[in-house]
Chain A
Amino acid sequence: MALLSITSPHVKGPQRTAGIMRWVILMTLPGLALQTYFFGWGNLHNVIWCSLIAVAAESLVLWLRKRPIGFYIGDYSALVTAVLLGLALPPFAPWWVSLVACLFSILFAKHLYGGIGYNPFNPAMAGYALVLISYPLAMTTTWANPVASNTPSITETLAIIWELSPLVDAYTGATPLDVYKHEVAVSTAEEIRSNPIFGQRIALGWEAVNLAFLLGGLVLIGLKVMPWQTPAAVLAGLALPALIFGWDEDQSAPLSLHLFAGATMLGAFFIATDPVSSATTNLGRLIYGFGIGLLTYIIRVWGSYPDAIAFAVLLMNFAAPFIDAYTQPRAYGYKKANRGPKASDKP
């Protein structure tokens, strides 16, 4: 028996992009299922519609750039961008909102910078921020209302998204974060919570969806598909100011709402961890993640957008190379870590 044992080091095969991306897509599915259960068929439609656009746009650009199309489509990166956009966009967002967001993600945020591996910004969030700035009305009035007595059927959903029938007010409503943000100035926490969209616990529907994304993310960390530092730091960065400033529910949204009522879990586990646009050192990931959480809190509470994951992620994407440069670990054989700007960076 002893003769058959293999000596160390035990090297597993390298993780390939396609493998990572497949796992990421797979682990968003529970969240998507719950979104469909609570908010209707809109998110599912958006995921499929965005995937079609993303794959078509990616193929087109790869063909124009004379790159192997099959190879780059096969790494699933375009599909991940599309799935994240589909999950993040409001369920009843009109078809052209998803189209613009998706095209901008793939064409501008990804391929103008050189394609996968070269994009400094998370493509999905760049597309999301673009439509959030460009179409404020369409992006705030098309969130689903989970309290509606019956969620719209597939045909109704399609008719609303493809603008064949007008938006039905009964199906839509403001998000819990939006409601809390606007009513906290004039009402007490108890009065705000009497709004049925908050349900019995934290926020009807949203809490379950966030929990699903949290579990999916934990599985990914367990499988070592993603590092634990980034999501942990995002949650800490959001929780810390929420505990300090949000202890009085009558003044600002409580911690539970911040963690389980927006895109927090999706952002922390699936968006901030994008291997291309996030920081790459372990210490850097902690700083990068904490920055995202902190900025999210700042924009949510003092800014004019009720949810802020997209802007926080984009801002920290911007800082990621800088964080990396100053958090390089000490290499074996050297006394000191080689930090700061490299000689080759100087003009």
Chain B
Amino acid sequence: MQMIQPEQWVQLMANTDFVKLTQNGLWDNNPALVQLLGLCPLLAVTGTVVNALGLGLATLIVLVLSNVAVSLIRNFVNDSIRLPAFVMIIASLVTCAELLMQAYTYELYEILGIFIPLIVTNCAILGRADAFASKHSIVPAALDGLMMGIGFMVVLLLLGAMRELIGQGTLFSDMSLIFGDIARDWEIQLIDNYNNFLFAILPPGAFVGMGLIIAGKNVIDDRIAKAKAARAHDVKTGSKRVRVTGNIS
């Protein structure tokens, strides 16, 4: 493969629309809220903030690296076999992530269980590889992966926080599973003697929570669209002279 020269890097960076990619990943085309991809892990493991963060980080890393790798090989892989090739790349990256988690955050690895290997089947990752990374150069592909990953992780965290708060009345419990001993006293007990609300911790609660988050996003989008429409309307109004001759148009 041809090495990319420093001046070409500058060129690549300049050709990338950072703002649009960021906006797409985080809001306009958010993998969880708009594309509704990767719902299986999203709904299954967001019982607490720490689970959500663990899976979100793993997905983020895999997404960035797979986008970079797919972008690098995009000109060498035949179109008809591209999907198996992408899946091979994603699967090897997920295996790496899994082994890393097993080594450094063993308890979290145990809790997340099957959902770490299942990152392979997360449609958000294959979707970005096929729809974006296989058509773009390395810098936009990496940035797209990063922003999509962050967009996905933010939704995971939001849902995790909601479910942990409503389900067991705490926030950031067991954060030491990721951050080690410094995170031992991060747990916030918001309500004393809280009666665990099992519905929020069980999968049905995840569906309801997800529905509420999507509804919230739609409300915000509606407000923005209305505000824009109102502004556009203002521009049109100008002083108009009353025509007294000719055709009234």
Interface positions of A (Cβ within 8 A of B): 96, 100, 108, 130, 133-136, 138
Contact B198 A135 (CB under 8 A): yes
Per the bound structure, the CA–CA distance linking A138 and B200 in Å amounts to 17
Interfacial chain A residues near B196, Cβ < 8 Å = 134
Interfacial chain A residues near B208, Cβ < 8 Å = 108
Interfacial chain B residues near A108, Cβ < 8 Å = 208
Q: Please, which residue of chain A has its CB at the minimum distance from the CB of B211?
A: A112
Interfacial chain B residues near A96, Cβ < 8 Å = 195
**A-B complex: 4 closest residue pairs judged by Cβ atoms:** A134-B199, A134-B198, A134-B197, A133-B199
Give the interface residue-count category, chain B: under 10
Contact A135 B202 (CB under 8 A): no
Per the bound structure, the CA–CA distance linking A134 and B196 in Å amounts to 8
Contact B195 A133 (CB under 8 A): no
Per the bound structure, the CA–CA distance linking A100 and B202 in Å amounts to 16
| A329: min CB distance to chain B, Å | 36
Q: List 15 A-B contacts (CB under 8 A).
A: A96-B195, A108-B208, A130-B199, A133-B198, A133-B199, A133-B204, A134-B196, A134-B197, A134-B198, A134-B199, A134-B200, A135-B195, A135-B197, A135-B198, A136-B198
Q: Please, which residue of chain B has its CB at the minimum distance from the CB of A133?
A: B199
Q: Residues 191-228 of chain B: 1 if any A CB is under 8 Å from the residue's CB, otherwise 0?
A: 00001111110101000100000000000000000000
Interfacial chain B residues near A136, Cβ < 8 Å = 198
Interfacial chain B residues near A138, Cβ < 8 Å = 195
Q: Please, which residue of chain A has its CB at the minimum distance from the CB of B204?
A: A133
Per the bound structure, the CA–CA distance linking A130 and B166 in Å amounts to 14
Per the bound structure, the CA–CA distance linking A133 and B197 in Å amounts to 9
Q: Please, which residue of chain B has its CB at the minimum distance from the CB of A130?
A: B199
| A166: min CB distance to chain B, Å | 13
Q: Please, which residue of chain A has its CB at the minimum distance from the CB of B195?
A: A135
Q: Residues 14-33 of chain B: 1 if any A CB is under 8 Å from the residue's CB, otherwise 0?
A: 00000000000000000000
Interfacial chain A residues near B197, Cβ < 8 Å = 100, 134-135
- Of the listed residues B197, B200, B202, the one surrounded by the most CB atoms of chain A closer than 10 A to its CB is B197
| A160: min CB distance to chain B, Å | 16
Per the bound structure, the CA–CA distance linking A96 and B208 in Å amounts to 20
Q: Please, which residue of chain B has its CB at the minimum distance from the CB of A108?
A: B208
Q: Please, which residue of chain A has its CB at the minimum distance from the CB of B193?
A: A163
Interfacial chain A residues near B200, Cβ < 8 Å = 134
Per the bound structure, the CA–CA distance linking A134 and B195 in Å amounts to 9
Per the bound structure, the CA–CA distance linking A100 and B197 in Å amounts to 10
Q: Using A133-B204, A134-B197, A134-B200 as known contacts, list a sample of 13 further A-B pairs with CB atoms less than 8 Å apart, ordered by residue number in A.
A: A100-B197, A130-B199, A133-B198, A133-B199, A133-B202, A134-B196, A134-B198, A134-B199, A135-B195, A135-B197, A135-B198, A136-B198, A138-B195
Interfacial chain A residues near B202, Cβ < 8 Å = 133
| B215: min CB distance to chain A, Å | 9
